[in-house]
Structure 1
Amino acid sequence: MSGSPENPILPLDHLALRGADDAPALLLRGETLDYKALRSRVSRLAAWLAREIPAKGARVATWAAKGELTCLMPLAAARAGLVHVPINPLLKHAQVAHILADSGALMLIGTPARLTTLGEGDVPTVCHLVEEGAALAGAEALGGDLSPSQADPHDLAAILYTSGSTGRPKGVMLSHANMWLGAESVHEYLGLAPDDRTLAVLPLSFDYGQNQLFSTWHAGGCVVPLDYLMPRDVVKAVERHAITTLAAVPPLWVQITELDWPDETAAKLRRLTNSGGALTVDLVRRLRALFPQARLFAMYGLTEAFRSTYLDPALIDSHPTSMGRAIPHAEILVINDLGEVSQDGEEGELVHSGPLVAQGYWQDPERTAERYKPAPASSRYGGMAVWSGDRVKRGADGLLYFVGRRDAMIKSAGNRISPQEVEEAALATGLVAEAVALGVSDPRLGQAVHLVVRAAPESSGAEEELPRKLKEELPNFMIPQVIHWRNAMPIGPNGKIDRTGLAAELAEMVS
């Protein structure tokens, strides 16, 4: 897909060219960059990166909180001909070590406090560590200027690491075109405009988080990054910066609706967007009551294809549980177990095809083949499609409804968590012989991580020691809310631990 003369697909760094010179583009702590300044900063950082890493297609990773570096790097790396690998700032050394080794990153730019947590063996010999401040100072001192990229829009531009249902995080390969068209699509269906201000509360290492930048800049609007400590910080930021657009995940929406919002502050918001988990009927009602003038967009997506569906805000009150219909540039089919397009009301697998489909998993052809398969014969796009593993139904009116997930992923507070990662961390302590991590329904988190373990023979003090060890090795969102100690694990007919039975038992305990 090459776009049209009116709407061509361009390299990602061209997003910095969209707004008027004097229009605000990025509000940093202590200064606001207009689009002229944004273009200058991106160009200088790109020039520094190109000097430091001259090999085109090389990977450069970032591990820092929201700020100038993390906001500019997606565009600067693209302009320098590099592949950006943003690392979730909440991750700890073991996960970062895996990402650095797997991606083959030649440089990791991070905050000093994070870099000092990396121990011997965490950083490959080919990877150079650079402190965030040194990178920005180096770009300023160099004073270079790199022209906008002329890269093929289908070239690789970023690798976003996301947990799988088994194994280590896997890197989803995104092209310039994937992210450009994602920005164009969201800009279009949200109706973003140059006078919009987006409060970026989501991590920029996620596709949903990055798109806060990209779709706003595609519209010529302004991004206000926020690393909030308390939900009340969101209220204050909306008031202080006249925010019009807020994206969040269900657990944050729950906290937001529990706060006191002055009417004049709530009225500043024009649109609310949700992904990373379904909105409940009760939460939709609370959001609509608190922000009656704001358009509420319920959305569904997966990193492997960015975003798939959204519900027209005009239908949110009458169809609060619907996933809606395909977003622009996406084709969504429901395929039954016979490989045919499902009838209305018939359950099937959601299959996403079209130009938003990513290029697969980095250096992982086996897992790529499991998720990326030829599009169904009925697809108008053809080519490769993402077979999501999610079961959905389509109503007679064309609206889609989520039925359930096929895989074992735990989705907690908007984070996708691999059970195996939690289990491996527990086993690595030597305190337990067996471990099973499960997601248990939770009204605030969506799912809470529960860990069922059997103590290792002759281990003493394990019940007190295991939580401490896990806090040292796992990011906060992966730490189990509850640890259940068992003398024996239930075994199923196949000789394996009966995960399904354990999940049902835990669900019964918390109901």
Structure 2
Amino acid sequence: MSHTPDPTPRPLDHLAECGKGDAPALVLRGETLSYEDLRTRVAELASWLKAQAPDEGARIASWSAKGALTCLLPLACARAGLVHVPVNPLLKRAQVAHILADSGSVMLLGTAARLKTLEDGDVPADCAMLDEATVWQAVTAQDGALGPSRQNPDNLAAILYTSGSTGRPKGVMLSHANMWLGAVSVSNYLGLEADDVTLAVLPLSFDYGQNQLFSTWYAGGSVVPLDYLFPKDVVKACATHGITTLAAVPPLWVQLTEIEWPAEAVSPMRRLTNSGGALTEELVRELRSIFAQAKLFPMYGLTEAFRSTYLDPSLVDSHPTSMGKAIPFAEILVIDDQGEVAEVGEEGELVHCGPLVAQGYWRDPVRTGERFKPAPEVSEYGGMAVWSGDRVKRDINGLLYFVGRRDAMIKSAGNRISPQEIEDAARATGLVAEAVALGVKDERLGHAVHLVVRALAGAVDPKDNLPKALAKELPNFMQPHVIHWRTVLPLNPNGKLDRTAIAREIGA
């Protein structure tokens, strides 16, 4: 798909109409859905959802592993005029309870085992809770089917929850246009075709993960969802299904380069894509040695604007540390501290303008105003822009290079983690009086979570009990890799915990 991408947004559910009827669209464990099957299932699921939640814009949450329900809900909700709220299946009850309450979801659909972990008060009284088997039984029992919608592309279609540097996860509001044009853009610059097969290993609660589905379906290709336990599961799936497109984050790439790849897994591969953290020069070399014939696409993105840049595969060997240039439909400006376009080689803030910019944070005008601001006057698109907080430089050829993050976000194994969320959980155990969570550079994870704490006076065996307590309350990717115990934590002149001093002490 090397032609100029069509900038006209459409309702998201129209992705089901892109492939040929008998071509495979979704390869699940027990069945393969053709595009005709996809259209039928989406139409029936949308009809059932509309009957259960007749109010336009009602939120429907899902909390499940990859399967027919999680893959089809984004399109079915969009067709029914509803808003999908995908919950990361790795989250635990406290995070799920927050998302349900904050989003005002009227339904929670998920796997029975996950739903059973929720306790009294976790699910609002007006939020119905159904397991996947019950949903499909109900869908099959009804006769309705909704055809392709006429939704306004500017309407809200999804809320994706992402952690901020402080506080609990916030919901990024995405329109039909945001996600449709994201699919068009990625399909175009990756050169996806109808005979491509994408292995979807990333969580479908992330924009990068969802786009595995959307961009492939836009091209009329096939998606194989995979929840893997070990890296070898990914290799096996690539060989079994003749995978041509594989997306991952750096920690997974590191693991995948440490195991053997048989020829039947390597030879069909056409492209590798990376986001969620920068590739190292060593990792680039290792990937190129294993997949010599495949194109490697390093990418940079943020949930608030989906995807911002990609590096052309032809430049990877000569510019391995570059973020590349803007993707189709994105305008990327580097703005200095005086509000002007930064000179070549000068550090500035990455500002993303254009139709991929999200609609802000759900029910959070304060944080929306901090990140979503009017575009600089030089912008061709104008309107609202995402001021990323990331510091970058642009070279004489227009290639961007990442300098650093302005906020305190921890980025570990491709996950964006709020330090405050970990700190709140630690203090809630009743075992520590003070807590500071920091990211320490780690070769495999990008950043490892370190927790610096001072025990609460009178706490019983805090060093033994804190890891156990956190294991019950936080998902695995938020668990501290190291807990540092201190009798005193330094304070800054304002009387607050001195994070800079603490970070320096532990090498963060």
Given the two structures, how large is their TM-score scaled by the length of structure 2? Answer: 0.98
**Which residue is 1:326 aligned to?**
326
Partner secondary structure for residue 96 of structure 1: helix
Partner secondary structure for residue 65 of structure 2: coil
Structure 2 distance, partners of 1:453, 1:239, is 46
Partner secondary structure for residue 70 of structure 1: helix
CA deviation string 1:81-116 (max 9, x = no partner): 100000000000000000000000000001111111
Per-residue deviation, 1:9? 1.5
Partner secondary structure for residue 322 of structure 1: coil
Partner secondary structure for residue 146 of structure 1: coil
Structure 2 distance, partners of 1:335, 1:227, is 40
Per-residue deviation, 1:271? 0.1
**Which residue is 2:208 aligned to?**
208
CA deviation string 1:372-427 (max 9, x = no partner): 00000100000000000000000000000000000000000000000000000000
**Which residue is 2:365 aligned to?**
365
Per-residue deviation, 1:132? 1.0
1:218 aligns to 2:208 (yes or no):
no
Aligned pairs for 1:379-394 (under 5 A) are: 379-394=379-394
Count of residues in Structure 1 that have an aligned counterpart in Structure 2: 505
Partner secondary structure for residue 301 of structure 2: strand
Aligned pairs for 1:232-381 (under 5 A) are: 232-381=232-381
**Which residue is 2:137 aligned to?**
137
Runs of 4+ in 1 over 4 A off after TM superposition: 4-7
1:432 aligns to 2:460 (yes or no):
no
Per-residue deviation, 1:5? 12
- CA contact under 8 A between 2:5 and 2:188: conserved in structure 1? no
Q: Which runs of 5+ in 2 are unaligned?
A: none
Structure 1 distance, partners of 2:265, 2:243, is 9
Per-residue deviation, 1:493? 2.5
Per-residue deviation, 1:7? 5.6
CA deviation string 1:449-508 (max 9, x = no partner): 000000001112010000000000000000101110000001122321111121122127
1:423 aligns to 2:404 (yes or no):
no
**Which residue is 1:188 aligned to?**
188
Partner secondary structure for residue 19 of structure 1: coil
The AA in structure 1 aligned to 2:456 is: A
Task: Single out whichever of 60-69 and 131-140 deviates more from structure 2.
Answer: 131-140
CA deviation string 1:164-218 (max 9, x = no partner): 0000100000000000000000000000000000000000000000000000000
Partner secondary structure for residue 88 of structure 2: coil
Per-residue deviation, 1:264? 3.6
Structure 2 distance, partners of 1:385, 1:162, is 18
**Which residue is 1:14 aligned to?**
14
Partner secondary structure for residue 393 of structure 1: strand
Structure 1 distance, partners of 2:134, 2:437, is 40
**Which residue is 2:83 aligned to?**
83
Aligned pairs for 1:144-163 (under 5 A) are: 144-163=144-163
The AA in structure 2 aligned to 1:367 is: R
CA deviation string 1:346-387 (max 9, x = no partner): 000000000000000000000000000000010000000000
The AA in structure 1 aligned to 2:400 is: L
Per-residue deviation, 1:151? 0.7
Structure 2 distance, partners of 1:464, 1:43, is 53
Structure 1 distance, partners of 2:5, 2:253, is 40
Decide whether aligned partners of structure 1 residues 253 and 6 sit closer, same or farther in structure 2, where only a CA change above 3 A counts: closer
RMSD: 1.1
- CA contact under 8 A between 2:112 and 2:131: conserved in structure 1? yes
Q: Which runs of 5+ in 1 are unaligned?
A: none
The AA in structure 1 aligned to 2:319 is: H
Structure 2 distance, partners of 1:48, 1:177, is 24
Overall identity of the aligned pairs, in %: 71
**Which residue is 1:169 aligned to?**
169
1:463 aligns to 2:453 (yes or no):
no
Given the two structures, how large is their TM-score scaled by the length of structure 1? Answer: 0.98
- CA contact under 8 A between 2:7 and 2:329: conserved in structure 1? no
Structure 2 distance, partners of 1:119, 1:18, is 42
CA deviation string 1:29-86 (max 9, x = no partner): 1211110000000001001100111111000000000000000000000001100000
Decide whether aligned partners of structure 1 residues 340 and 29 sit closer, same or farther in structure 2, where only a CA change above 3 A counts: same
